[in-house]
Amino acid sequence: MRVSCIRSVGKENLRGESPVKTALIGGIGNVLLGDDGVGPYVVSLLESHYSFGEGVEVADLGTPALDLTHRLVGRHAVILIDSVSSDDPPGTVVLYRKEDIVCVAPPQRLDPHSPALSECLMAADMLGASPENVLLVGIVGECYGPGQPLSAAVRESVEQSIDAVLRELVRLGFNYQRRAHPTETGIWWDQSLPSDPLSVR
């Protein structure tokens, strides 16, 4: 397994936390290394096809390391999308909860700039501001060669991974709407990818 956020609503506490619930939807990965770029690809599609309610941030996080901690601190929820390695077939979508991430030391990512997510969560815990809800939407990768496009298996898993993100938002009480007219995806790194793969949904 290659493992690469919502505070309770209430009055502002002594740590200065806002009573507004916030969620981060983040894509992790290097877009120039084949299937490692699936996280940024998915968040680009989410931003293009959906608008999100107050408190929801959608971001391409690239390949962060321990600097990811500051993006996690104080969030009520974090939903991350990343390529993972597993014995499952390529394209399989595997969901990891916070307890899965912090209780089991993840193997090294194929990407040398991998974020140590478990360490970032532990650091946020030490600061007393770790997200209550963490979901990693892992997509089993197949090809990580420089300049390679997303593999067919990973590309076919994109809709399932988007559905997992949207279901988690609903579970946590966040709102979203599908756009009547999708915006540009900004996917510049792979012209072989379909420009609007969700258009038939």
Model confidence at 201, pLDDT cuts 50, 70, 90, reads very low
Tell me the pTM: 0.81
Structural domain boundaries in the chain: 23-178
Cα dihedral sign, 91-186-62-161: negative
User: What are the tens digits of pLDDT across the range 21-56?
Assistant: 899 999 999 999 999 999 999 999 999 999 999 899
pLDDT value of residue 193: 61
Helix H segments across the chain? 38-49, 69-72, 98-103, 117-126, 152-156, 158-171
- What is the pLDDT at residue 37? 94
Residue 124, pLDDT score: 79
Q: Is the pLDDT of residue 18 over 70?
A: no
pLDDT grade for 114, boundaries at 50, 70 and 90: very low
Give pLDDT, residue 78: 94
Q: What is the pLDDT of residue 111?
A: 42
CA distance between the termini of the chain: 30
Q: Say if CB 198 and CB 178 are below 8 A apart.
A: no
Indicate the fold that domain 23-178 takes in CATH: Rossmann fold (3.40.50)
